[in-house]
Amino acid sequence: MTAWMAKPRVLAVGILTAGLLLAGCVSNSQGDLTLLAEPTNTFGVDEEIRIALANPSQSMLFVPASWAGLAVYRQLPSQGWEEHILPDIFQPMQATTASRIEYSIPSGILEPGNYKLVLQGRKGEEGTPFSVEVNLMVVQSQS
């Protein structure tokens, strides 16, 4: 094989290796993290909505300190989604290794409809980004 043919192979292998390494470094792995609505995924409009981030391995997390740091998306009649409430950029974040982090959304904040709540944070010493979400339904309360 001539020298000019060997260089493209080395270059291709180098690019492929770099791509694989970068893909592993910037993964959006949530691991064992789960965002749950409690006690159910259906709430009345006049009920406090409670969700919890389960962190069973007690990994180091950097997450919003309150529900105002979560993104809330509302489902449209066309089955698409729209941004309903954006995370408050002035909302403080907290570092924690707690096995469970709870958030409460006061009653009356969400009107009847289907919602997706998204929590974004960082995990571990490297600060790997993660994103977890939960779907919930808000219904008109029975009088």
Query: Is pLDDT above 60 for 128?
Result: yes
Phi/psi region, residue 135 (left: phi>0; alpha: psi -120 to 50; beta: rest), is beta
Are 100 and 58 a contacting pair, CB within 8 Å?
A: no
CA distances from 44 to 27, 75, 113, 121, 133 (A): 37, 17, 10, 28, 20
DSSP 18: H
Paired tokens of 120: 């974004």
pLDDT digits 0-9 by tens, 69-106: 999 999 999 999 999 999 988 889 999 999 999 999 99
Average pLDDT, the chain: 84
The pLDDT assigned to 38 comes to 87
Give the helix/strand (H/E) hosting 12.
helix 3-25
What domains sit in the chain, N to C, each tagged with a CATH number?
A: 28-139 (2.60.40.10)
CA distance 136 to 130: 20
